Every structure is written in C-alpha cells, then in structure tokens.
C-alpha cells in the first residue's frame, strides 16, 4: 500500500480535482442560494433584541449586584468573619476587620466590622455562594439589572464599601415598610 493511501484517523477524504462547469464558474447558482437563505431570515423571528431599549425577561433565580445590608436600625450587619471570602470560588472578596469603638455602636451591629470590604467584579461570577455562606444575612445579590458598569480602568472594577453598602435612606424605607 502506498503511503499516500494510508489514513491513520480513518477520516481521509479524497478531494475531487474535476474541472468546474461553466455554471459553477459563474457562481450564480450559489449566489442565488445564499440570497434565498438571507431572504428567508427577513421573515423569521429575530434572535436579538435592541438592548438597552429592550431587555429580555430575567430568570426568577437571577442574581445581580451585591449589597452589604444594614439592619432595621441602619447599622451595618457585616462582622468581617470572612466566610464569604472563604466560600468564594473566584477569590473575589477581600476585607479588613476592625474593632468597633464605643461611639460607633450606631454604625456597626457587631463588635467587629469590615473597615474595608472589596469585591473584584472582574473575578466575580455571580454564583451567590457568598450570600449562602454569610451567617449574618449581611450580603445579598440583588435583582439590579445593572450588574457592573463598563469602564476602561481595571481598578474601577474593584467595588468598595462606597458602592456595596446599602444606602441609608434605602434602609430607612425598608424599615418603614416592615413597620
Ligand atoms: S457571587 Fe460568587 S464569585 Fe461573586 S463574590 Fe460572591 S461567591 Fe464570589
Ligand atoms: S458579609 Fe457575611 S460572611 Fe462576609 S464577612 Fe460579612 S458577615 Fe461574614
């Protein structure tokens, strides 16, 4: 057997070297077939939407941007235990724990709190494991449709407490709804 005929993968295909006919050389038939395929798609249901004017319906289990929650008295719930960071598969969470001072009782619920709490949004995969791991119900993934704002600077994707902690007026509104 000649070496040219051996096919180790068994997928060898002999390419035909026959000459193209006159109609094949004009490509008119293939152009017409291509145009027919294009024309068919003009009347089909579009697979895309005009985002951001239009959005698709979100899944009931959708998880959006994180919020660091406050309690009913407006104090930060997070006690900087680090369980969220430990459970994060993307290693996106870092924090620095600090001790609460006597005059900060109205700011932080526990004696220990996170003076720095950061999530690297370029790493986060919005899996929700941080929320599951938190024993203080301090971190939630919200239904916010804007997950992360676009930017050209990587450092802007590291969200600190200024972006993560629930605004105080929102905590007040939540308490009013509960009462
Ligand atoms: S959602 Fe998942 S990946 Fe993102 S910070 Fe939480 S645990 Fe990490
Ligand atoms: S968010 Fe929850 S799990 Fe994470 S450090 Fe704070 S209290 Fe602990």
CATH for 88: 3.30.70.3270
Domain membership flag for residue 35: no
Band (35; pLDDT cuts 50, 70, 90): very high
- Ligand 2 centroid, distance to 149 Cα (angstroms): 24
160: left (phi > 0), else alpha (psi -120 to 50), else beta? beta
Residue 131, CA distances (Å) to 65, 75, 96, 124, 179 in order: 12, 18, 18, 13, 25
**What's the number of domains the chain is made of?**
1
- Tell me the CA–centroid distance for residue 118 and ligand 1, in Å: 11
Range 64-71 average pLDDT: 94
Within a domain: 111: yes
Which pLDDT belongs to residue 58?
A: 85
pLDDT higher than threshold 80 for residue 53: yes
Look at residues 39, 38, 88, 68 and name the one whose alpha carbon lies nearest to residue 137.
Answer: 68
Task: Please name the residues in contact with 135: beta carbons below 8 A apart, sequence gap of 6 or more.
Answer: 81, 83
Closest ligand 2 atom to 137 CA: 2
The band of 16, judged by pLDDT with boundaries at 50, 70 and 90, is confident
Residue 13, in any domain of the structure = no
- What does the pLDDT look like over 105-160, one tens digit per residue? 999 999 999 999 999 999 999 999 999 999 999 999 998 877 788 889 999 999 99
Residue 164 lies in a domain: yes
As for ligand 1, residues whose beta carbon falls within 6 Å of it are 87-90, 92-93, 119, 124-130
Under 8 Å between Cβ of 115 and 97: yes
Q: Is residue 93 part of a domain?
A: yes
Is there an atom of ligand 2 within 6 Å of 83 CB?
yes
Q: Please check whether residue 168 lies inside any domain of the structure.
A: yes
What is the structure's pLDDT at 3?
A: 62
Alpha-carbon 124 to chain mean position: 7
Which residues does residue 98 pair with via DSSP β-bridges, in sequence order?
Answer: 113
Q: What percent of the chain has pLDDT over 90?
A: 62
How confident is the model at residue 57, as a pLDDT? 87
For residues 121 and 164, what is the distance between their CA atoms, to the nearest angstrom?
Answer: 11
Residues 43, 45, 51, 53, Cα dihedral to 10°: 80
Domain containing 99: what range? 67-178
Q: Which of 48, 55, 46 minimizes the C-alpha distance to 147?
A: 55
Split at pLDDT 50, 70, 90, the class of 178 is low
């Amino acid at each position: 057997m000649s070496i040219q005929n051996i096919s180790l993968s068994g997928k060898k295909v002999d390419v035909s070297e026959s000459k193209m006919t006159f109609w094949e050389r004009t490509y008119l038939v293939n152009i017409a077939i291509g145009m027919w395929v294009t024309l068919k798609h003009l009347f089909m249901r579009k697979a895309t939407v005009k985002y951001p004017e239009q959005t698709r319906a979100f899944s009931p289990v959708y998880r959006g941007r994180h919020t660091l929650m406050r309690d009913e008295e407006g104090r930060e719930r997070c006690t900087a235990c680090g369980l969220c960071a430990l459970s994060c598969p993307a290693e996106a969470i870092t924090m620095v724990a600090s001790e609460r001072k006597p005059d900060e009782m109205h700011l932080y619920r526990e004696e220990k709190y996170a003076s720095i709490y950061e999530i690297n949004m370029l790493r986060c995969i919005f899996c929700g494991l941080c929320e599951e791991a938190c024993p203080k119900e301090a971190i939630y993934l919200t239904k916010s449709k804007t997950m992360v704002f676009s930017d050209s600077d990587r450092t802007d994707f590291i969200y600190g407490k200024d972006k993560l902690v629930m605004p105080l007026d929102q905590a007040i509104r939540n308490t009013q709804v509960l009462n």
